Structure 1
Amino acid sequence: MTTAERVTAAGAVAAAILPREASPIEKALLTVELLALADADPRVIATAWDPWRCPTVLLPWLAWALSVDVWDPAWPEARKRKMIAASPMVHRLKGTRGAVRRALDAFDLDSTIVEWWEETPPSRRGTFRVEIIYADGGPVFDLATQIQAIEAVRSSKPKSRIFTTRATIPFAGPLGFHAHERTSLAWTVQPFQFTGETIGGQLFAGAITAGLLTHTINPKE
């Protein structure tokens, strides 16, 4: 079939679909759309709504169609597909703990939801805490991921509930024991202010015999 014949055939279908008072421009636009659909691979159409088989270039549109609450074009493709796949169930369960759980799982983060009655002692009634745990190989201190995960929790939680977040890093290492004698001389000048820097390392437990001489100097008033 020649191009002219294809246009004529598509035009006839467009005229049959549209109402009689449709303008020529409306008929022309529908004709073009019909021609484009005729050239589309039906296998692509069949996978367009499948988050795992949808063509990569169409993922942003599929995310929009399925109302994904949090989206970042910079995400790796695997995360985009997980977020899209999780969205329908998140919306069905929105306002429940299950929705929050599924929204967090889509980020591939090791996380825990702690309800107010699970605290010791119990915290404020109706609140909960989200703990994001950074294990070996995880995105340690990935601020962008933290912000997006918190936004996903905010979008899926019950609107009346207040939550807090906490980022934790499990630490494992050798434990050493030793004992020695030590004499130390310490000077403390007030006022003292901690800058926030933390130095971590191996954990040692020991016993010492110490002689301590301590001087404290306070500013003259």
Structure 2
Amino acid sequence: MKTLLPPNSTELERKLAEVGKDAFDLPSIRIIKDIDHVPSQFLPFIAWQKSVDYWDDDWQEELKRKVIKESRDLHRLKGTPAAIKKALEPFGYEVNIIEWFEVEPNLVPGTFKLEIDLIGKPLNSDTTAEINRLVGETKAASRPVTDIQFTTNSPVPVYIATGYQRAVTVSSYTRSI
């Protein structure tokens, strides 16, 4: 038997190692590695293990699995404009980031604006709070957002005002196709 026990291990330690040698070959251990086949009741624990920054038990199971799978890539990108897009992507939003130097007249150096298309999803205070939270957690701490513009194709026009960091007013409007 191959073992990692030191040569001076006791007989009890060797017997315990022998008894437990097949523990990691159990199907229950192997299935946890495959996020698509993990029973749904284990998803919150795997999310914690994979350092998922934010978890909501009310999300659909498919979204939970997607967030777990993408957690590692998101941590690699954290603090970049791509991280903001990737954080909002699982929710089906289209995000356009406008850096301070891309507009005339230029914004304050180091700042950026966001244009978010909700693609037909409703805009309400929960959606706004979730977007603000995701943007705040993924952007670089030294890069303030000056403006967030929401676009939605919901059948009812929605106007909402929200403050973000420097108390900037943000509005949403219905766009016709």
Taking structure 1 as the reference length, the TM-score comes to 0.55
More strand by share: 1
Q: Does 2:149 align with 1:166? A: yes
Deviations 1:42-65 (A, max 9, x none): 333223133333221111011111
On the 8 A contact 2:92/2:119 being kept in 1, the answer is no
Aligned to 1:105: 89
The one-letter amino acid paired with 1:159 is A
Runs of at least 4 residues off by over 6 Å: none
Q: For 1:47 and 1:112, how far apart are their aligned partners in 2?
A: 38
Counterpart check, 1:74 vs 2:32: no
Within a 5 Å distance, the mapping from 1:1-221 to structure 2 comes to 15-16=12-13, 42-136=26-120, 138=121, 140-163=122-145, 164-170=147-153
Structure 2 Cα separation of the partners of residues 55 and 17 of structure 1: 34
CA–CA separation in structure 2 for the residues paired with 1:92 and 1:104: 16
Specify which structure has the bigger relative contact order, considering alpha-carbon pairs within 8 angstroms and separated by 6 or more residues: 2
Distance change (3 Å), C-alpha of 1:46 and 1:124 = same
What is the percent sequence identity of the aligned residues? 33
Unaligned runs of 5+ in 1: 1-14, 19-26, 28-33, 173-199, 203-221
Deviations 1:135-180 (A, max 9, x none): 33x2x114323322321221121111101422223589xxxxxxxx
Q: State the 1:82 CA deviation.
A: 1.5
Q: State the distance in 2 between where 1:41 and 1:55 align.
A: 18
In the alignment, structure 2 segments of 5+ residues that lack a partner are 1-11, 156-173
Using the alignment, how far apart are the partners of 2:52 and 2:75 within structure 1? 9
TM-score normalized with structure 2 length: 0.66
**Separation in 1, partners of 2:93, 2:36:** 20
Question: Could you tell me whether the CA contact under 8 Å between 1:83 and 1:107 is conserved in 2?
Answer: no
How many residue pairs match? The answer is 142
- Return the offset for 1:17: 6.6
Q: In the alignment, is the contact (CA less than 8 A) between 1:90 and 1:103 conserved in 2?
A: yes
> 1:130 offset after TM fit, Å?
2.2
The 8 Å contact of residues 107 and 149 in structure 1, kept in 2 or not, is answered as: no
Mark the CA change 1:96 to 1:43 in structure 2 (over 3 Å): closer, same or farther.
same
Structure with larger Rg: 1
Query: In structure 1, how many angstroms separate the alpha carbons of the residues matched to 2:119 and 2:137?
Result: 26
